[in-house]
Amino acid sequence: MKDLNSLELAFIGDSIHTCFVRNWAVQNINKPINELHLLCARLCSASWQAKILNILELNDIEKEIARRARNAKPKHHAKNADAVDYKKATAFEAVIGYLYVTNQTERLNYILNHSLTLEVNNAN
């Protein structure tokens, strides 16, 4: 496998995070699909991912992955987020992508579940 750059890791991480959130919603939330879509869109938004990144305790390697991704120069910008949140979301997604491609399943699941714990706590 080739070494992936920060934006490639974020590209993979975005899909992993989205799939995880959608699976969780379908398995745990008994609402019509349009309401599930709205919930998942919020939980996969740049602003939400930025919040998650702010509270995560990353190890040194994850911090470096996040730093590189935050400083990467994407070809496009978010349509529904400010630049700071967009960069943090890219960093969050890159960490997810890194954990996925390096098969760090336990750590990946911890972070993904932790992001949902935050949602459950906010809902109460």
pLDDT value at position 124?
41
**Mean pLDDT of the region 19-46:** 95
What pLDDT band is residue 78 in, cutting at 50, 70 and 90?
low
Among 48, 119, 58, 35, smallest CA distance to 86 is for 48
CATH assignment at residue 24: 1.10.1520.10
Position 86 in a domain: yes
Position 1 in a domain: no
Position 53 in a domain: yes
Tokens representing 41 are 């869109």
What pLDDT band is residue 82 in, cutting at 50, 70 and 90?
confident
CA distance 118 to 9: 24
Q: How many domains does the chain have?
A: 1
Position 10 in a domain: yes
| 3-state SS class at 57 | coil
pLDDT tens-digit map of 39-56:
999 999 999 999 999 999
Position 24 in a domain: yes
CA distance 81 to 66: 18
* pLDDT at 107 > cutoff 70: yes
| 3-state SS class at 74 | coil
How does the average pLDDT of the chain come out, rounded? 90
**Domain, as residue range, for 41:** 6-123
**Mean pLDDT of the region 76-92:** 85
Give the catalytic positions in this structure.
Answer: 14
pLDDT value at position 7?
94
Does the reported pTM lie above 0.95? Answer: no
Whether the CB-CB separation of 56 and 111 falls below 8 Å is answered with yes
- Report the length, in residues, of the chain: 124
What pLDDT band is residue 113 in, cutting at 50, 70 and 90?
very high
